[in-house]
A and B are shown apart, each in its own frame.
Chain A
């Protein structure tokens, strides 16, 4: 406890509040998560490797991570565009659009899943126009990308938006005065300032896509080796009472989320490197 002694502060309540914080955090998050690690430790190395590298599981990684990368890339393009338009331009309905960006965040994933599956199916609102073009989205791997893009969009917009808001107009004015044209200003002044937040947004959107379950299973078709995502593999194993297998795969996913979390933290540190 001595380690946590705050230096010279007259505000009361540090001990109890920090104590409760640590207690509740351990009870709800840390102990249950460590259960996962301990359970995995019960497997031998060979069992673990053969479980997490089984062909069907490997295919699910490819589907999950591949789709998540593509979805995050789409989100970077449109997310930055939306953020820029929302901050810099004034148009009718801007506030409503701004609020709507968080819809994927607020809409329960099951609702997202059944809705996307419905409007992108061959007789749905959008699907019926794509069908004649030979594009099938629902019940194909494309559907996975679509769902991941939907749920990941707010992460890019909401990470980049505040950074655009904070760019001082003076900087652009200075660049213009120094003879840069608009494109040069965007490329040489604005873009480098946005880059860390764009990368952070990409990573967050990617992480969300990798972990997503609810919205995807309705639209993916869930065909083994083709459109089966890793979280679904865990559920499948659980339903077969293969707890060890479920745990091993979950452990791989948990490690990958920690890795992404680490990257995000490093990116945020990097983005503050010019801060005073």
Chain B
């Protein structure tokens, strides 16, 4: 159709813009800033990690405490991401496809964990489950440990990653309207058929986007987890906490070796995120 043609013509005649020199200058400043500010630290992580050679790097990763921290981080993400995914999809369905009073308040409340300091996110669980907390004494009497143990780490991580999927899906599902779902119902589909065959495929990339960000934060969270973890080596240390311990022990190479895993995760996250963003835009344009 004629759409691409018109954009091509418009860009060619894109009359009002800055003089060439100004453009280059601005691009230059932006690139120098981003290189110094973002690319350099990224390069530094890998450079420090491999400073003493590949074998030292591998040895640092093979260390039992490191392996157990990786295991704990994977377990945490494996619990948090599916829970928050399920919540995100459910909340988006209720909020995007129906109108009811108090909707905006609900959206604000869902976003709340984003505006709370990670330290507070950890603290609130200590206040409830800690020894001096609401149900701490009862838990102790029954020999159940939540804070300074794995359940606390998982709870705090669920809190900080709570909004990711929901806040991505709500606007996307709102933008797509409910006509396709109505069409499916008129054609005789049941509610679940409508959801799985019409709604879900349409928000697929939005879900991937939300999940990848949720996962990145779940694996990388430091502040909140730091408060509820007992910092017990090999027991309640996640990968970011382990990085801290190694760093504070002046074991820089090992710290950066473990950090490079997280940096690698960040790079993959950025890549998947870019692709998902592009796909979501495409899907919306096809409406």
Whether chains A and B associate is yes
Contacts of B44 in A (CB 8 A): 115, 118-119, 124-125
Q: State whether the Cβ of A41 lies closer than 8 Å to any Cβ in chain B.
A: no
- The residue of chain B having its C-beta at the shortest distance from the C-beta of A98 within the complex is B274
> A153 vs B19: C-alpha distance in the bound complex, in angstroms?
27
Instruction: Look across to chain A and name the residue whose beta carbon is closest to the beta carbon of B45.
Output: A115
Q: B interface, by DSSP: helix, strand, loop or mixed?
A: helix
B215 vs chain A, min Cβ distance (A):
10
Interface residues of A in 10-29 (CB under 8 A from B): 10-14, 16-18, 20-22, 24-25, 28-29
Inter-chain CA distance A209–B250, complex, in Å, is: 27
Asked if A126 and B40 sit within 8 Å, CB to CB, the answer is yes
Is A267 at the interface (CB under 8 A from chain B)? no
A78 CB within 8 Å of chain B = yes
Is residue B210 within 8 Å, beta carbon to beta carbon, of the partner chain? no
Residues of B within 8 A of A32 (CB): 124-125, 127-128, 159
Task: Report chain B residues within 8 Å CB of A115.
Answer: 41, 44-45, 48, 256, 259
Checking B45, B118, B124, B221 against A33 with a beta-carbon cut-off of 8 angstroms, the contacting residue is: B124
Q: Is the CB of A210 within 8 A of B117?
A: yes
Which size class do A's interface residues fall under? 35 or more
Question: Cβ of B223: which chain A residues have Cβ within 8 Å of it?
Answer: 109, 212-214, 231
Q: Which residues of A contact B29 (CB under 8 A)?
A: 81
A213 touches B222 (CB 8 A): yes
| CB <8 Å contact, A89 and B247 | no
**Interface hit among B55-63, B137-145, B200-208, B264-272:** B264-272
Say yes or no: A153 contacts B110, CB within 8 Å. Answer: no
Contact with B along A161-189 (1 / 0, CB 8 A): 00000000100110110000010010000
CB distance from A7 to the nearest CB of B (A): 7
**Interface status of B50 (Cβ within 8 A of chain A):** no
Q: Decide: B259 and A114 in contact? CB cutoff 8 A.
A: yes
A111 touches B45 (CB 8 A): yes
Q: How far is the CB of A71 from chain B (nearest CB, A)?
A: 12
Convert B107-130 into 0s and 1s, putting 1 for each residue whose CB lies closer than 8 angstroms to a CB of A: 011111101111110011111101
Which bucket holds chain B's interface residue count?
Answer: 35 or more
Contacts of A101 in B (CB 8 A): 34, 38
> B26's contact among A84, A102, A112, A261, by CB below 8 Å, is which?
A84
Using known A-B contacts A10-B182, A102-B270, determine if residue A20 contacts B123 with beta carbons closer than 8 Å: no
B residues in contact with A253, CB < 8 Å: 117, 120
- A139 at interface (Cβ–Cβ under 8 A)? no
Contact of B113 among A29, A85, A153 (CB under 8 A): A29
The SS class assigned to the A binding surface is: helix
Quote the shortest CB–CB distance from A181 to chain B (angstroms). Answer: 10
Q: Which of B15, B40, B118, B244 contacts A125 (CB 8 A)?
A: B40
Given A29-B162, A210-B117, A213-B223, verify A108-B266 contact (CB < 8 Å): yes
A35 vs B126: C-alpha distance when bound (angstroms): 10
Total inter-chain residue pairs, C-beta < 8 Å: 287
Q: Among residues 211 to 230 in chain B, which have CB atoms less than 8 Å away from a CB atom of chain A? A: 213, 216, 219-223, 226-227
Per the bound structure, the CA–CA distance linking A185 and B17 in Å amounts to 10
- Find the B residue at minimum CB distance from A100: B38
B48 touches A9 (CB 8 A): no
With CB as the reference atom, state the residue of chain A lying closest to B98: A6
Task: Please tell me if A99 contacts chain B, counting CB pairs below 8 Å.
Answer: yes
* CB atoms of A211 and B117 under 8 A apart: yes
B97 interfacial by beta-carbon distance below 8 Å: yes
CB-based contact B227/A238 at 8 Å: yes
A78 to B29, CA, bound (A): 9
Cβ distance A176 to chain B, nearest Cβ, rounded Å? 4
Tell me whether A21 and B87 are in contact (CB under 8 A). Answer: yes
Enumerate chain A residues within 8 angstroms of B30, measured Cβ to Cβ.
78, 81-82, 85-86, 97
- Complex Cα distance, B56 from A156, in Å, reads 40
* Residues from 21 to 60 in A contacting B, C-beta threshold 8 Å: 21-22, 24-25, 28-33, 35-36, 39
**Residues from chain A with Cβ under 8 Å of B127 in the complex:** 32, 35-36, 39, 243, 247
Our pick among B18, B31, B42, B108 for the contact of A265 (Cβ within 8 Å) is B108
Residues of chain A contacted by B23 (CB below 8 angstroms): 89
Pairs of residues from A and B, 10 with the lowest C-beta to C-beta distance, nearest first: A108-B220, A211-B117, A12-B191, A214-B222, A213-B223, A106-B266, A17-B94, A32-B124, A231-B119, A110-B240
Mind listing 17 A-B residue pairs with CB under 8 Å? A6-B98, A13-B94, A17-B90, A18-B98, A18-B100, A89-B27, A101-B34, A109-B222, A125-B44, A149-B37, A150-B37, A172-B16, A175-B16, A213-B223, A214-B118, A214-B226, A218-B244
